[in-house]
Amino acid sequence: MFKIVLYLCDSNRNHNKMTKIAYKLFRELKSGQITSLFINKTRKLQYNKWLEYENYPTSGFAERPGWHCTEKPCAPHLKMELKSGEKRVWKMVMIQDFTEFKRPENQGGLWFLAKRIKIIPDDRARYIELQLYREEMGRREFNK
C-alpha cells in the first residue's frame, strides 16, 4: 500500500488555510444520517459543510480537543458492527487547522486532531481516491 498526502486550497481560494485529506469513523443511523462515534453522538452531521470542533468533556474519555481523524481508514481496535446493530462507517474528510497525534499502529497509527472538517460524500470520495491513485501510478511510471 502506498501513502498519499494531499493538500488542497479551500473552495474560497484562501491559500493561508491549507486543507488535508484524512479519514474519520462515524456512526451511521438506520436513516443514513451520520453522527460522531462517541462524543456528542446525538448531533447529526452534514456533508459538504465545514464543521467547527466543539469541546464536550465526556466521562471515561481522554480530553483531546479536535475532530479525531486518521491518515488512513484503519482503526483495528474498534469494531465496525456492534451487537446493538450500530453500524460504523469510514468517511473521507477534508481537515483544517490540525495537529498530528501519534498512536500505535493497532489504533490506526497517525491521527489528526482537527479544528475543522468537511465530510465528503461517498461518490465524491471515490472520485478523489481514483484521481489520487492515477497520480501515484503516473509518478511511479515516471520514476522507473
The reply to whether 24 falls in a domain is yes
Cell 465496525 sits at which residue? Answer: 80
pLDDT for 144: 67
The alpha carbons of the chain give a radius of gyration, in whole angstroms, of: 16
Determine the average pLDDT of the residues in 11-17: 45
**Does residue 51 carry a pLDDT above 80?**
yes
Asked whether residue 15 is domain-assigned, the answer is yes
Report the distance separating Cα 104 and Cα 88, nearest Å.
21
pLDDT (mean) for 128-138: 76
The answer to whether position 71 is within a domain reads yes
For residues 26 and 37, give the distance between their C-alpha atoms in angstroms, rounded to a whole number: 5
Range of the domain at 11: 7-142
**Alpha helix stretches (DSSP H) within the chain:** 122-142
Asked, for residue 1, whether it belongs to a domain, the answer is: no
What pLDDT, on the 0 to 100 scale, is given for residue 22? 92
Number of domains in the chain: 1
Q: Is residue 2 part of a domain?
A: no
This prediction has a pTM of 0.74
SS3 123: helix
Q: Is residue 73 part of a domain?
A: yes
Distance CA 139, CA 89 (A): 31
| In the predicted structure, residue 9 carries a pLDDT above the cut 50 | no
Q: Nearest 5°: phi and psi at 4?
A: -120, 130
> Which of 4-8, 21-25, 61-65, 135-139 has the weakest average pLDDT?
4-8
CA torsion through residues 92, 111, 67, 19, sign: negative
Please indicate whether residue 56 or residue 34 has the higher confidence score (pLDDT).
Answer: 34
Q: How far apart are CA 46 and CA 91, in angstroms?
A: 12
Residue 46 lies in a domain: yes
Are the beta carbons of 127 and 115 closer than 8 angstroms?
no
When pLDDT is averaged across residues 111-120 and rounded to a whole number, the result is 92
